[in-house]
């Protein structure tokens, strides 16, 4: 069932809570893929009711980013939700979420200074603000986020903890194509040649993991090898970062340990792609 | 009943909600006076359960402000709550509210640039952050704030609306001493001579209202008269602002209308006092 207003979504949520039903929530920007579907399936398994939101959140896009061309296909998204047995799709307009006079923002400091946060000023503020709103509207017991956006996951977990919100924020594994490419709605932007170069991210991450398994503990050596791999692909235009970080603080490690996160952000053509792996 | 932990307060609130009981909430920094008592009574009248919080919130105090000497008297406060039939007093420690690693802030823009916000950098960010947390912990249906802190009331209402929180934020009338002084925990700071000069605020506000009732619509004339009154008192050290503002936007008015707010902030000795009146 398609729900377009905050009021209706809140009233539905309130009724389910009153009946003692648990609500699972999958916030998305639409253009759904197997990654989103895996989140829906987790939610369906754990909860009585599953809500998916589809909202391309303008305030998390920077001025020179891809808000206007972000891919959209509501009809296809709704069919996917239906096929997966999603109970409600919350699909608000921008005016519904940000009416005139809107001026409140939720910001996580520190964690958001690093990795993507260092390159996308204001991005995480937009994310935490909209997710805070969505949590208040949908009232989920559990919310599901993909680990591809690892920093986003940690930032949201931090927000929920700091603000004493009653939601369990669950990270689900990255879903990849057979050849290793992490699923992302932005993969749609890639030409065939760029699609080939986009493999550089996962190739470098897998190689890094291999190096660690063989005993390499020096982050500089691993990062240098990754950089070599990534920049060997012809359509790679810019490597924004390659970092090996602590899984909780996201601070760079001096010696690599099991459980650390290796994260990369790369421009392939005009498309910014991110990926990561836990080692 | 005294509740010291977030966990216990949340669990109590969750149980009352499950039983369909309404929760009224009065957030305070303690050192309770008749103003607070009037809020408790409003809450008792409207709700099944009334929760008062006592928490001197460090993050809403500036570096040179009065955090360390802010008056406290828990025993007396608890007696007042008991006498008023308050069901629970939430009295968390600073560590309980801001454990190590805390780094999330809620900020209302625009409304907080004016009046007190222009003089107390970061103050309202501290207020909205703690109130957001308290609302998530106590889960109130209704929360009560004094109109003496008029800007605070509007900022919190804005936050609740923008973040789609499920709380009705209710403003209650200023409570005054017989001679007009608005009640405030900070009145304790005043010497006898200062207490006399503190009357300048209400005297000027009442005179302003009189001028308006007699037909004066020019804000400059009213403000100029108010300034004259206030600065005639010997212990008045600084007039931070005297403004006539729109009750919703808090923007200064060019022509005074019924329903506008006249607001003042004045240092009497070392004590910063605020007061306001709706005309």
pLDDT score at A217: 98
Q: How many CB atoms lie within 10 A of CB A78?
A: 19
Is A136 in Cβ contact with B166 (below 8 Å)?
yes
CA atoms in the 13 A half-sphere facing the CB of A160: 20
Rounded CA-CA distance A146/A172 in Å is: 5
Nearest CA of chain B to the CA of A112: how many Å?
A: 10
Q: What is the average pLDDT across B88-94?
A: 98
Burial class (CB in 10 A: 0-12, 13-18, 19+), B258: exposed
Q: Residue B248 — very low, low, confident or very high, per pLDDT cuts 50/70/90?
A: very high
Rounded CA-CA distance B21/B140 in Å is: 10
pLDDT in tens, A164-198: 999 999 999 999 999 999 999 999 999 999 999 99
* A151–chain B Cβ distance below 8 A for any pair: no
Catalytic-residue membership of B123: no
Pairing mode of beta strands B2-3, B88-90: parallel
* B163–chain A Cβ distance below 8 A for any pair: yes
Rounded CA-CA distance B134/B169 in Å is: 13
Nearest CA of chain B to the CA of A250: how many Å?
A: 13
Chain-centroid distance of CA A207 in Å reads: 23
Structure tokens at A200: 């550089």
* A110–chain B Cβ distance below 8 A for any pair: yes
* CB neighbour list of residue B119: distance below 8 Å, 6 or more residues apart: B240, B241, B265
Prediction ipTM score: 0.97
Nearest CA of chain B to the CA of A122: how many Å?
A: 14
Burial B11-29 (b: 16+ CB within 10 A, else e): ebbeebbeeeeebbbbbbb
Which residues of B fall within a CB distance of 8 Å from A159? 104
Which residues of B fall within a CB distance of 8 Å from A106? 104-107, 163
pLDDT score at A108: 98
Which is catalytic among the residues A6, A24, A27, A36? A36
Rounded CA-CA distance A50/A229 in Å is: 41
Give the rounded percent of residues in chain A with a pLDDT score beyond 70: 100
Which is catalytic among the residues B24, B25, B26, B36? B36
Q: What is the CATH number of domain B185-278?
A: 3.30.1300.10
The answer to whether residues A155 and A102 touch, using CB atoms and an 8 Å cutoff, is no
Is B163 in Cβ contact with A106 (below 8 Å)?
yes
Q: What is the CATH number of domain A2-172?
A: 3.40.50.620
pLDDT in tens, B9-33: 999 999 999 899 999 999 999 999 9
Question: Residue B157 to residues B26, B52, B277: CA-CA distances in angstroms?
Answer: 15, 19, 19
Q: What is the average pLDDT across B177-194?
A: 98
Chain-centroid distance of CA A59 in Å reads: 15
Give domain limits for chain B.
2-172, 185-278
Q: How many CB atoms lie within 10 A of CB B70?
A: 18
Quickly tell me which residue has 């650390």 as its tokens: A260
Q: Is the pTM of this model over 0.95?
A: yes
Q: Residue A60 — very low, low, confident or very high, per pLDDT cuts 50/70/90?
A: very high
Query: Number of residue pairs across A and B with CB atoms under 8 Å?
Result: 76
Which residues of A fall within a CB distance of 8 Å from B159? 104
Structure tokens at B217: 């619509």
């Amino acid at each position: 069932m398609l729900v377009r207003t905050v009021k209706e979504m809140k009233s539905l949520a309130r009724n389910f809570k009153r009946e003692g039903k648990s609500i699972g929530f999958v916030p998305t920007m639409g253009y759904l893929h197997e990654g989103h579907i895996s989140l829906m399936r987790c939610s369906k398994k754990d909860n009585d009711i599953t809500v998916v939101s589809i909202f391309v959140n303008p305030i998390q896009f920077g001025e020179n980013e891809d808000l206007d061309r972000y891919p959209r296909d509501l009809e296809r998204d709704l069919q996917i939700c239906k096929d997966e047995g999603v109970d409600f799709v919350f699909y608000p307009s921008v005016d519904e979420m940000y009416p005139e006079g809107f001026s409140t923002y939720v910001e996580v400091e520190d964690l958001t200074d690093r990795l993507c946060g260092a390159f996308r000023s204001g991005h995480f503020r937009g994310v935490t603000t909209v997710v805070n709103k969505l949590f208040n509207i949908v009232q989920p017991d559990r919310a599901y986020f993909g680990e591809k956006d690892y920093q986003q996951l940690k930032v949201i977990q931090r927000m929920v903890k700091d603000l004493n919100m009653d939601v369990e924020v669950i990270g689900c594994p990255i879903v990849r194509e057979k050849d290793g490419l992490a699923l992302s709605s932005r993969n749609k932007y890639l030409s065939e040649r760029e699609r080939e170069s986009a493999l550089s991210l996962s190739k470098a991450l897998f190689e890094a993991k291999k190096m660690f398994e063989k005993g390499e503990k020096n982050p500089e050596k691993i990062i240098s090898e990754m950089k070599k791999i990534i920049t060997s692909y012809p359509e790679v235009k810019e490597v924004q970062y390659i970092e090996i970080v602590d899984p909780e603080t996201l601070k760079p490690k001096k010696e690599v340990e099991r459980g650390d996160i290796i994260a990369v952000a790369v421009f392939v053509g005009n498309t910014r792609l991110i990926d990561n792996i836990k080692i």
